[in-house]
């Protein structure tokens, strides 16, 4: 049986505080977990939607929330990601967090209004000016899409590669809970258990659903091809 550690307590406390926040939101909005998902996604761009399964796991305290999803949740709540992080780590109270979030205005409605204003403005532009505006918007979209893909999609990388590339962060999440040799084995291609993957998820630049898919695609012997490292 694993010994309880300060890191374990921190992760458990973060889950409990997230459960408490979701309980408040369900009560305040008079909705279920699925209703919360719809509320969050109504305030997020299409490319940053949260899955119902993830929201259910966070609401029940069965899964920790990684930093990418914390950023999405903070955006949905209309607060600074650092403020949400401070709440989850116990640095500020739930009351202090609630003072910073906005549950009244619809971000989706704001984006719709901005879009309508953009279309109205485009109708007033000359052809050369409209061409320059379209070129600028194309460059802006390409840059934002590239950033989003880099943050949320692991591409063709393996879990071993992600762990190796984010070694320091993984060690911080891992140490004192599991043997470091086991983490080295995962960095070299061993298949992690879901429990191990859940512990690493906050340190890896990938969505939980993508990590689970990669884990399921690995063979069961831990011989999945990884990447060499000097850890």
pTM: predicted TM-score of the whole model, two decimal places: 0.50
CA-to-CA distance for 50 and 12, rounded, in angstroms?
A: 22
Distances (CA, A) of 213 to 57, 67, 162, 207, 216: 17, 19, 14, 10, 5
Burial of 174 (0-12, 13-18, 19+ CB in 10 A): buried
Other Cβ atoms within 10 Å of 32 Cβ, number: 13
pLDDT at 149 (0 to 100): 59
**pLDDT band at residue 226, thresholds of 50, 70 and 90?**
very low
Residue 84, pLDDT > 70, answer yes
What is the tens place of the pLDDT at every residue in 37-81? 999 988 887 767 888 988 999 999 988 888 778 888 988 898 888
Between 138 and 31, where is the model more confident?
A: 31
What is the tens place of the pLDDT at every residue in 12-25? 888 899 999 999 99
Residue 230, pLDDT > 70, answer no
**pLDDT band at residue 1, thresholds of 50, 70 and 90?**
very low
- Six-digit token pair at 155? 């591409």
Give the helix ranges, DSSP H, for the chain.
6-29, 33-41, 52-60, 67-77, 81-88, 94-98, 107-124, 127-152, 159-165, 167-174, 180-187, 194-200, 208-217
**pLDDT band at residue 125, thresholds of 50, 70 and 90?**
confident
């Amino acid at each position: 049986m694993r010994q309880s550690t300060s890191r374990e307590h921190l992760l458990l406390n973060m889950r409990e505080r997230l459960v408490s926040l979701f309980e408040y939101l369900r009560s305040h909005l008079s909705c279920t977990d699925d209703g919360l998902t719809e509320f969050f996604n109504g305030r997020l761009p299409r490319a940053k939607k949260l899955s119902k399964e993830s929201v259910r796991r966070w609401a029940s305290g069965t899964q920790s929330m990684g930093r990418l999803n914390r950023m999405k949740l903070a955006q949905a709540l209309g607060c600074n990601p650092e403020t949400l992080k401070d709440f989850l780590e116990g640095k500020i109270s739930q009351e202090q967090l609630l003072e910073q979030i906005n549950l009244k205005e619809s971000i989706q409605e704001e984006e719709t209004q901005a879009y309508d204003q953009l279309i109205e403005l485009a109708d007033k532009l000359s052809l050369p000016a409209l061409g320059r505006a379209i070129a600028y918007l194309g460059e802006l979209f390409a840059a934002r899409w590239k950033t989003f893909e880099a943050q949320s999609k692991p591409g063709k990388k393996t879990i071993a590669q992600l762990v190796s590339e984010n070694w320091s962060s993984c060690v911080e999440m891992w140490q004192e809970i599991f043997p470091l040799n086991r983490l080295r084995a995962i960095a070299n291609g061993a298949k992690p258990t879901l429990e191990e993957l859940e512990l690493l998820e906050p340190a890896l630049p990938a969505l939980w659903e993508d990590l689970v898919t990669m884990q399921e695609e690995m063979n069961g012997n831990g011989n999945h091809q990884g990447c060499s490292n000097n850890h």
